Amino acid sequence: EPEVTQTPSHQVTQMGQEVILRCVPISNHLYFYWYRQILGQKVEFLVSFYNNEISEKSEIFDDQFSVERPDGSNFTLKIRSTKLEDSAMYFCASSDRSNTEAFFGQGTRLTVV
Amino acid sequence: AQKVTQAQTEISVVEKEDVTLDCVYETRDTTYYLFWYKQPPSGELVFLIRRNSFDEQNEISGRYSWNFQKSTSSFNFTITASQVVDSAVYFCALTENSGYSTLTFGKGTMLLVSP
């Protein structure tokens, strides 16, 4: 069964460092998303990506964040200068069309120390 | 703005009990979509169901059933004869037709099923 794959599963980084979280969405999907979940809290939307550009972003998605689809399969989230409060589980998701169910990856746990 | 409220933070039941997880939503759109996701202890988010605002029929899938009531803006989820493997955090979510399918999640309900 096709699935969304995220790497790495866990990343520890020092404050101020740049990190890139990687995702391989389901191959025929057109809509891609990043969400985050701070430990014990709800899942929050960061950004959606369609047709090679950002279609929506939340207020959390400020200038330190960027997304890219560098080739036909990968979808990345870059955090330029990490802060302690960026520590969270980051989920990538994809869907094949608008307003249908999004399928989530297993998440990348980011720990900023 | 859209909002999803899951008032139950944590529910504990004994195996074989039935349990209902509540979800109340707010939206200005007349067309919207409601979802339930399960997050087991391993952390991934597992899709359970999607329902559009024009379909108020209740749905049953095995031990799971969903009750959508537009009049009360609720989309409740019932697990019949709960099992230990049902222990997880359950999230209700909403997306409006005007968006790009971005999900607004509730805070989740942690369900603990003990043997």
| pLDDT-derived band at A71, boundaries 50, 70, 90 | confident
Q: How far is CA A3 from CA A68, A95, A103, B44, in A?
A: 20, 11, 7, 12
- How confident is the model at residue A47, as a pLDDT? 96
- How confident is the model at residue A99, as a pLDDT? 74
What is the rounded radius of gyration, in angstroms, for the C-alpha atoms of chain A? 13
- Is the pLDDT at B43 greater than 80, yes or no? yes
Q: Rounded distance, CA A18 to CA A32, Å?
A: 22
User: What tens digit of pLDDT does each residue of B68-112 get?
Assistant: 999 999 999 999 999 999 999 999 999 987 656 789 999 999 999
Q: Rounded distance, CA B40 to CA A68, Å?
A: 29
Q: Which residues pair with A21 in a beta bridge?
A: A77
Q: In chain A, which residues have their Cβ closer than 8 Å to the Cβ of B43?
A: 89, 106-107, 109
- How confident is the model at residue A98, as a pLDDT? 76
A8 cis-preceded (ω within 30 degrees of 0): yes
Q: Which member of A42, A99, A102 has the closest CB to residue B106?
A: A42
Backbone torsions φ then ψ of A62, nearest 5 degrees? -95, -165
Q: In chain B, which residues have their Cβ closer than 8 Å to the Cβ of A106?
A: 42-44
Q: Which member of A58, A102, A104 has the closest CB to residue B101?
A: A102
Token pair listed for B45: 């988010």
- Is the pLDDT at B59 greater than 90, yes or no? no
